[in-house]
A = this chain, B = another copy of it.
C-alpha cells in the first residue's frame, strides 16, 4: 500500500491562502509557487508528488476561484483529507481531478506521518495500523478523478466513441 507524507494544516484554510490574490493574474504554475505561503512558507517548495494535505474543518472557504484546487493538483498532491470542505471548493476539486476525502477523525493525524488511503473503500490508515473511516465517494466521481478531472474524462470518452 502506497504511503503518503502528511502536510498538516489548521481549519478554515481559505482559497486566498491556497491561491493568493496577488498572483491571480498569472498561470497555475506561477500561482502554485505561492500556494500556502502565508500559512506554510515551506509548502510550495517542499511538497513532493504523492504527498497529502490533512486539514481541519471548512477547507477551501472563501471565493470560488478554481485555482485554489488547481494548484494543489499541479503540485502533485495526491489527496486532501479534512472533516469538511466549502461546497464550491469541493465541486471544483473533483472537476479538476483533485481527490478530497471527508474524514471526521483525521485531526488525529500528525505532521509528517506517512499514511495510506483507499478512496474506493473509504479508509485512511495511520502508521500504527489504526484505520479511520472516510465518507464513501460514488464510483463515477472517483473515475472522474482517476481520469484527471471532468474535461480529460469527457475528452477520453469522445475519443473512444469516435475512434475507428
Interface residues of A (CB under 8 A from B): 58, 63-64, 84-88, 90-91, 94, 100, 102, 135-138, 141
Contacts and interface: CB of A to CB of B under 8 A. Distances in A.
Contact of A102 (B86, B102, B135, B138): B86
A88 B137 contact: yes
Q: Copies per complex?
A: 2
A87 B135 CA distance: 10
Contacts of A58: 84
A152 to B, nearest CB: 18
Q: Which of A87, A94, A137 has the most CB of B within 10 A?
A: A87
A129 B139 CA distance: 45
Contacts of A138: 64, 88
Contacts of A94: 91
A137 B84 CA distance: 19
Given A58-B84, A84-B86, 9 more contacts: A64-B138, A87-B87, A87-B100, A88-B90, A88-B137, A88-B141, A90-B90, A90-B91, A91-B141
A66 B36 CA distance: 34
Contacts of A136: 63-64
